Amino acid sequence: MVSRSGGTGRRTGLKIQRGQLHEGSSPSSGNGTTPRFFRCLPIRYRVKRVNTMIDIDFKEGLVPVIAQDHETGEVLMMAFANRESWEMTLKTGIVHYWSRSRKKLWKKGETSGNVQEVKEIRVDCDGDCILIKVNQIGGAACHTGYRSCFYRVVRGDRLEVDGVKVFDPAEKYPAANNPQEK
Amino acid sequence: MVSRSGGTGRRTGLKIQRGQLHEGSSPSSGNGTTPRFFRCLPIRYRVKRVNTMIDIDFKEGLVPVIAQDHETGEVLMMAFANRESWEMTLKTGIVHYWSRSRKKLWKKGETSGNVQEVKEIRVDCDGDCILIKVNQIGGAACHTGYRSCFYRVVRGDRLEVDGVKVFDPAEKYPAANNPQEK
């Protein structure tokens, strides 16, 4: 389970197997506790783990996730992920978020069909933000029908819509939940 | 101060002058209070304001801000802004954030000189995330010297560095605060 690269006394190159990561033994718990797998390691191993694995800092349980179109570079949306949704994204190759309003795991596009296929995942310097380059199925990320959630631009003291509308939300969502544009 | 577009009894097109917005009378206080300028308006005016001005939802006082290179589309960083930093960005045309670690207004690039000039500001559908297209002075946004803070990519169960390093942080920052890469 634990490998040591080199045999000179310097411990580097810790690895865990993919299955272990996905079963909840990721090294960064983000809630102040250390998963059992790591608690059993000598401290010198634990210190090294930061440099060698996917270490996400889930501040208060959540991390911001930016979805960017992998071809055009357009920023499509930003939402939050908790550990469960992050691991679901890694497992499935489909982007999952955590819905703060509904307080539940949110597979993006579950209702509309406009899921986001993972093309590349990047992590920032502090490990507290994730950037995912995606193939946006259906051509639109926004629940209002626009390609990007950022369909409004600041002009002077006002916001003006200049985004491209791809679908009519009334056709994608039940009338009771029909989202309103701002 | 308050204009009414049309004269048919329907109130639309509320405006405030730029100076008022920048002096802290923005319509969305985000802290549950209504600025004095809006408290004196009849409720029918207040309801309309959401559609007609820059209405940012500062959840718990902060809103995520994504900085994107205005030419290449590369996502450079993500940080948070409070109302003060948002208004400073609008006023100065230079991106300001709120440093959660230092708990203070953070003019990006104040130490390194690598400020971010605003080229375009976009707001998402829910008004709770801001996307700023910037001209990144110095060619690097990250305190580690990389062009983007997202200089690491997920490969299997590991993060690998594939970003471009533009400067040596030891030359930009005092030794005591010399940032370490993850």
Helix/strand/coil (H/E/C) assignment for every residue in B1-59: CCCCCCCCCCCCCCCCCHHHHHCCCCCCCCCCCCCHHHHCCCHHHHHHHHHHCCCCCCE
pLDDT in tens, B20-47: 333 333 333 334 344 443 344 334 333 3
Mean pLDDT is lowest, of A23-32, A172-181, B59-68, for A23-32
Chain B positions touching A50 (Cβ under 8 A) are 182
- Residue B177: its pLDDT value, please? 54
- Residue A154 DSSP symbol: E
H/E element, B89: helix B83-92
Q: Output A24 or B180, whichever has higher pLDDT.
A: B180
**pLDDT at site B172:** 82
Give per-residue pLDDT as tens, B43-95. 433 333 333 378 899 999 999 999 999 999 999 999 999 999 999 999 999 99
What is the distance between the alpha carbons of residues A160 and B123, in angstroms, rounded to a whole number? 10
C-alpha distances in Å from residue A25, one per residue of A33, A122, A147, B69: 11, 21, 36, 36
Question: What residues of chain B lie within 8 A of the CB of A64, using their CB?
Answer: 64, 78
Kindly report the nearest CA distance between residue A129 and chain B, in angstroms: 7
Residue A32 has pLDDT above 80, yes or no: no
Contact flag A123-B159 (C-beta cutoff 8 Å): yes
Q: Which of B168, B19, B149, B24 lies closest to A157 in space, CA to CA?
A: B19
> Considering the entire predicted model, what is its pTM?
0.72
pLDDT in tens, A100-123: 999 999 999 998 999 999 999 999
Q: Does A16 touch chain B (CB under 8 A)?
A: yes
- Answer yes or no: are the C-beta atoms of B61 and B80 closer than 8 Å: no
Q: What is the pLDDT of residues B99-125, one digit of tens each?
A: 999 999 999 999 899 999 999 999 999
- Whether A28 has a pLDDT exceeding 70, the answer reads no
Tokens 């390691």, located at residue: A41
Helix (H) or strand (E) holding B92: helix B83-92
Q: Give kind and range of the element (H or E) at residue B170.
A: helix B169-172
